[in-house]
Structure 1
């Protein structure tokens, strides 16, 4: 991942949501912890921004928190609780992360309401869809090759979308690890990339300041373009 050199005053502050895990272990410690894989802040930093972790908090504080950052990233993580989109959990759906669901949905609402640039990654894209009234497919057989191992596959940008303006190639390979996907699209969202099998791989919200969701994990690859576009939008805002 190539570093982008910018002065301190030029670096937009990007808030990234985090995991909240019970009994995380490091060295001699085993404690509850707010966690974030290092790939996320490293990607923000390489793209020209500064990173701040936004662990789950009282959702009523989300607007105040969003007002203090220049852009928001909703990170990947556990499955969205199906009750959020009016469904019952299926066999392969993971346990709920209710505190995180509530906090991140509030962050999304606050970012959209304030025009703060917003990027959803994997779970983050799915939550953006749910926040706008969409639904999810709870399990797609064969989309995770091995537990804990990222794969790659091809996605194709939809012409004349924000994503296509960022990644103009007809197709590109992306790092991926997911078993859920967008089913019914949320209101006003448009699909801006898809896989060969038709899976929705990116969504965006036209008319907003800047709101994009990607199904894959850019923090696990070398391509800075999506994060760099967020950082630039955050700097402009």
Structure 2
């Protein structure tokens, strides 16, 4: 049973226009295709209490995190902040890490993980790298090459991939305990891991037809996740190096 966080936004469907808890169906499709049971988690009530009922947690993409969470002033381009979603997802991630729950962060999900562990973000990647390839236009994915660590290269059966990017923010200061597992040619951090159970990527693996990252995530439940020791102490690990 894989919980997936979702948006709360105005939406239009059939004859209705109303606020909705919604999620791009590609996330659901990929989890189901890999053999998991997807469960959508709206940012309502106390979703952190659900951690004990889940087998795994995916924090999906979405708007920007409130910069106050990493003690920064907002950049003019920082947008679509939903503080209620921040509250819910940071609580869920904290509970999931404490419980040793298998975790996969995607785009915003990677940023939530980094900030939850004490890291910071670049609020506008084009200011850092000098181009807009990571988010070329509203509603349009960019395709940029990403170099993978041996761990991810084994999953993707390639040392380099060209996944779908749609992010204008990215990791700045890497949180203690996180190891970088993929970088773009311009130096942008594109994937991290805390341990065998906790991984995150900045790109959008859900939009491609195949989904080796989802396959590997769900396979972990069938094969048995390795023991990572005391999960409550994982965030004290030394940070790793860019591959």
TM-score range, shorter chain: 0.7 to 0.9
Indicate whether 1:136 and 2:148 are aligned: no
What CA distance in whole angstroms lies between the structure 2 residues aligned with 1:29 and 1:89?
A: 34
What CA distance in whole angstroms lies between the structure 1 residues aligned with 2:19 and 2:138?
A: 23
TM-score normalised to structure 2 length: 0.86
Where do 1:116-135 residues align within 5 Å?
116-135=101-120
2:91 maps to what in 1? Answer: 106
What CA distance in whole angstroms lies between the structure 2 residues aligned with 1:234 and 1:127?
A: 24
2:2 maps to what in 1? Answer: 14
1:28 maps to what in 2? Answer: 15
1:219 maps to what in 2? Answer: 206
2:3, 2:58 within 8 Å by CA — same for their partners in 1?
yes
2:2, 2:37 within 8 Å by CA — same for their partners in 1?
yes
1:7-64 CA-partner distances (Å, limit 9, x unpaired): xxxxxx111000011x3221221222100010000010111111000000234x41x3
Q: 2:140 aligns with which of 143, 149, 161?
A: 149
- Greater relative contact order (Cα 8 A, min sep 6): structure 1 or 2? 1
What CA distance in whole angstroms lies between the structure 2 residues aligned with 1:163 and 1:226?
A: 8
1:157-194 CA-partner distances (Å, limit 9, x unpaired): 123xx434423422111111111000000110000000
2:153, 2:160 within 8 Å by CA — same for their partners in 1?
no
Aligned residues: CA RMSD: 1.4
1:201 maps to what in 2? Answer: 190
TM-score normalised to structure 1 length: 0.88
Deviates more, 1:26-35 or 1:47-56: 26-35
Indicate whether 1:181 and 2:170 are aligned: yes
Q: Residues 95 and 41 (structure 1 numbering): CA distance in 2 closer, same or farther, change over 3 Å?
A: closer
Structure 2 gap segments, 5+ residues each: 127-131, 226-243
2:31 maps to what in 1? Answer: 44
What CA distance in whole angstroms lies between the structure 2 residues aligned with 1:109 and 1:57?
A: 16
1:3 maps to what in 2? Answer: none
**SS state at 1:67 partner:** helix
What CA distance in whole angstroms lies between the structure 1 residues aligned with 2:160 and 2:61?
A: 23
1:116, 1:234 within 8 Å by CA — same for their partners in 2?
no
